[in-house]
Amino acid sequence: MKKLFFLAISFIIIMQLPAQRRIDQLAGTVAEYASTLTLDKLKKATCITYYSGNGSVAPDYHYDCCIIVTPNEVNVKIYHGYDGTTVYDESSDLLATDYTKFIKHLANQKIRKIVPEWPMLDGAGTSMLEVKIGNKEIFSGDEQYDVSVGNGNLIDAFLPLLPDDMRQAALDPESYINTL
């Protein structure tokens, strides 16, 4: 009787293994979709922000740069020092077609969250992305820490939106902090 019971339990366990693998694969697919920045998510976004900074440096040389995109406008801001003094703040209107190209480009970059392989290091520069619907954050992460960009760099989708002067500011924010 014990042997029959053992065989029955073993059979049940063995029969569950393929099903469990399928469930695990499905769970992995769902988790990957949830952590991927898809075109569907981007179409619902009301604000998409790219942020970069130069890390832990002396206050006179520190900067933060934000490119803020809404369906109707793109804005570039550069902040100097750790107190956040604004040294550059320019906006430009966006056409609906340009915004659509932008979110398609962003989606084609295959951006997704990843599990970091190391603790976040302080002191280095950063490139971050934040996507919101209203006040609700639906995606955020740091390109050097917990975001994988399959095609290019985070900033690549943002640059074509910018007029020349704003593009220059975003690519060389240090030139604006040296004017203080």
All structural domains of the chain with their residue ranges = 1-34, 39-177
- Stretch 31-39: mean pLDDT, rounded? 68
H-helix segments, 35-112:
39-44, 96-108
| pLDDT score at 72 | 97
Q: State the architecture of 39-177 in CATH terms.
A: 2-Layer Sandwich (3.30)
| pLDDT score at 162 | 96
Percent of the chain having pLDDT more than 70?
73
Beta bridge partners of residue 174, listed in sequence order: none
Distances (CA, A) of 50 to 8, 22, 53, 86, 131: 58, 37, 10, 17, 9
Range with the poorest average pLDDT among 22-26, 57-61, 94-98: 22-26
CB 140 within 8 A of CB 103: no
At residue 9, what are phi and psi to the nearest 5 degrees?
-65, -45
State the greatest distance between any 2 C-alpha atoms of the chain, in Å, as a whole number. Answer: 88
Range with the poorest average pLDDT among 15-29, 66-80, 90-104: 15-29
